[in-house]
A = this chain, B = another copy of it.
Amino acid sequence: MEAHEEADKNGNLAALHEAFSAGAPGQVAAALKPLHPAQVADFLEALPAEERLRLWRLISYDVKGDILVEAHGEVRRQLIEESGPEELAVAVQRLDLDELSDIHEELPADVVEAVLRAMDDQRRQRFDVVRTYPENTAGGLMDVDAITVRPDVTLRMVLNYLARYRAEHHKIPAHTDAVMVVDLDGRYLGQLHLSDLISLDPERKVHDVMDRGVAAIAADTPAVRVARLFEDRDLVSAPVVDDREKLIGRITVDDVIDIIREEAEHSVMATAGLDEETDTFAPAVTSARRRAIWLGINLVSALLAAWVISLFDHAVDELVTLAILMPVVASMGGVAGTQSLALVIRGIALDHVKEGNRWRLLKKELAVGAINGLLWALAVSVIAGLWFKNPKLSLVFGAALTINLITGVASGTLIPMLLQRLRVDPVLAGGVILVALTDAFGFFVFLGMAAVFLV
């Protein structure tokens, strides 16, 4: 089945590729039919920028909306930029409200206005609520299409209401695993799960069977906290309330998956100073410009290390072996520090590292650094001894390595804790600061000790 699905998918994608190469809009339209918008978005994201736009122009307006919803970051922005306002209005006007709320921030203001004008009053009012919350909060994430019922009606009445809702709207909103129970003022009371609705006696009242266990999420809750809540409680959808506890929307698990995925991409990209929205196939000049800053920051760090070495150039001049061994001291400290850094960054993300256990964690990391520092100091001392036959040099080398390893784990533990307090992203800045420290300090301690004891 997987084999079929794969073959099918590749067959369909191959057909798209062929139609696209031929440059025939009719053929492209036919080839797009069997594909899911997410597949088309994926296909577009894997094309170089110019070809991507060439294909985009061959796609008909009415399917572009769904593809935009599925596209990511920079690629989505590029596709929006390259589309005319009228084209965009056609593309997005048939989107669901939750899809529109996912992408509206990237659309030109006049397109959003045009789409809003075409909405009925109730939808527009609901949508205006979403727009007041920042994108990375529960309010910004939520859909405004929750179905609500009163607590004092019977399940049969709810079933009848849903049948009427379906007849009127032609569909039940996606990811409706429960309907929301609210009082007359619209305050959230609980959820009525569809699985209860279909399997319990229809004459029972909603307030008897509703689930009061799913706490409402405040609209200003940060998105990452929402994601943790969904993970821990295995939720499919959750109610969102304003500061007066009034139900204003619901968050569904598909939006939560997007958040977790973005977090994951951020962990990969930010350590290299890249934005997770970066287009893999952006033009070279654009990419080079963006990466230049990060290289510049690292150059400052490297020049700092070079300056430290220059302080001891007389020592290196006298004993050239120092130049051979000094990068070993620096790099081992960096590696040990990176291990602590990764551990603490994950611990902070999972909320395991907090006020009460920070000091204990630092002590533990220092012990780890000391154990490994001594172990590897012994190893490198023996290697250096055999290599250069200079016992005093071996001792200094081993001692410097131990000290820099301990410096590394201490920095790797403290830097992310400090950055978190300063509200600087530790994934982005942690590694650079750490390596700047372990390089400069590694050279300093090794060459400094050599200057005192050896030359």
Complex interface residues of chain A between 337 and 367 (CB less than 8 A to chain B)? 338-339, 341-347, 349-354, 357, 360-361, 364, 367
> Quick check: is A57 within 8 A (CB to CB) of the other chain?
no
Q: Which stretch of A22-30, A39-47, A103-111 is in the interface?
A: A39-47
Complex interface residues of chain A between 286 and 304 (CB less than 8 A to chain B)? 287-288, 291-292, 294-296, 298-299, 301-303
Complex: A422 Cα to B264 Cα, angstroms? 24
**Could you tell me the distance in whole angstroms from the C-beta of A288 to the nearest C-beta in chain B?**
4
Chain B proximity mask over A59-83: 1 for CB below 8 Å, otherwise 0: 0000000000010000000000000
Q: Which stretch of A87-95, A118-126, A128-136, A313-321 is in the interface?
A: A313-321
> Quick check: is A182 within 8 A (CB to CB) of the other chain?
no
Chain B residues whose CB sits within 8 angstroms of the CB of A138 once the complex forms:
2
Picked from B166, B233, B299, B427, the residue with its CB within 8 Å of the CB of A199 is B166
* A220 & B2 in contact (Cβ 8 Å cutoff): yes
Complex: A435 Cα to B328 Cα, angstroms? 13
Picked from B36, B176, B276, B405, the residue with its CB within 8 Å of the CB of A195 is B176
> Quick check: is A16 within 8 A (CB to CB) of the other chain?
no
Complex: A281 Cα to B344 Cα, angstroms? 10
> Quick check: is A336 within 8 A (CB to CB) of the other chain?
yes
Picked from B260, B327, B342, the residue with its CB within 8 Å of the CB of A257 is B260
Chain B residues whose CB sits within 8 angstroms of the CB of A346 once the complex forms:
265, 268-269, 276, 280
Chain B residues whose CB sits within 8 angstroms of the CB of A217 once the complex forms:
1-2, 5
* B195 & A268 in contact (Cβ 8 Å cutoff): no
> If the complex has contacts A46-B354, A215-B1, A331-B302, are A234 and B175 also in contact, measured as CB distance less than 8 A?
yes
* B280 & A347 in contact (Cβ 8 Å cutoff): yes
Complex interface residues of chain A between 160 and 175 (CB less than 8 A to chain B)? 162-163, 165-166, 171-172, 174-175
**Could you tell me the distance in whole angstroms from the C-beta of A454 to the nearest C-beta in chain B?**
15
* A295 & B232 in contact (Cβ 8 Å cutoff): no
Chain B residues whose CB sits within 8 angstroms of the CB of A375 once the complex forms:
288, 292
> If the complex has contacts A1-B215, A5-B215, A339-B291, are A260 and B253 also in contact, measured as CB distance less than 8 A?
no
Picked from B260, B274, B306, B443, the residue with its CB within 8 Å of the CB of A342 is B274
Complex: A1 Cα to B221 Cα, angstroms? 9
Which single residue of chain B is at the shortest CB-CB distance from A319?
A: B317
Chain B proximity mask over A224-259: 1 for CB below 8 Å, otherwise 0: 010000111110100001010100000001101110
Which single residue of chain B is at the shortest CB-CB distance from A363?
A: B284
Q: How many copies of this chain does one complex carry?
A: 2
**Could you tell me the distance in whole angstroms from the C-beta of A221 to the nearest C-beta in chain B?**
4
> Quick check: is A114 within 8 A (CB to CB) of the other chain?
no
> If the complex has contacts A38-B233, A331-B298, are A357 and B323 also in contact, measured as CB distance less than 8 A?
no
Of the listed residues A3, A276, A280, the one surrounded by the most CB atoms of chain B closer than 10 A to its CB is: A280
> Quick check: is A309 within 8 A (CB to CB) of the other chain?
yes
Chain B residues whose CB sits within 8 angstroms of the CB of A46 once the complex forms:
351-354, 357
Interface size on A, residues (CB 8 A): 139
> If the complex has contacts A267-B264, A272-B339, A376-B296, are A254 and B280 also in contact, measured as CB distance less than 8 A?
no
> Quick check: is A305 within 8 A (CB to CB) of the other chain?
yes
> Quick check: is A159 within 8 A (CB to CB) of the other chain?
yes
Picked from B38, B233, B343, the residue with its CB within 8 Å of the CB of A280 is B343
> If the complex has contacts A217-B2, A285-B371, A357-B281, are A233 and B36 also in contact, measured as CB distance less than 8 A?
yes
Which single residue of chain B is at the shortest CB-CB distance from A273?
A: B339
16 contacts between A and B (CB under 8 A): A38-B233, A46-B353, A47-B357, A163-B199, A175-B236, A236-B236, A260-B261, A267-B268, A268-B427, A281-B357, A287-B368, A296-B379, A299-B380, A302-B332, A305-B327, A309-B323
Binding site for B on A (CB under 8 A): 1-3, 5, 36, 38-39, 42, 45-48, 70, 138, 159, 162-163, 165-166, 171-172, 174-177, 194-201, 215-218, 220-221, 225, 230-234, 236, 241, 243, 245, 253-254, 256-258, 260-261, 263-265, 267-269, 271-274, 276, 278, 280-281, 283-285, 287-288, 291-292, 294-296, 298-299, 301-303, 305-306, 309-310, 313, 316-317, 320-328, 330-332, 335-336, 338-339, 341-347, 349-354, 357, 360-361, 364, 367-368, 371-372, 375-376, 379-380, 383, 405, 427, 435, 439, 443
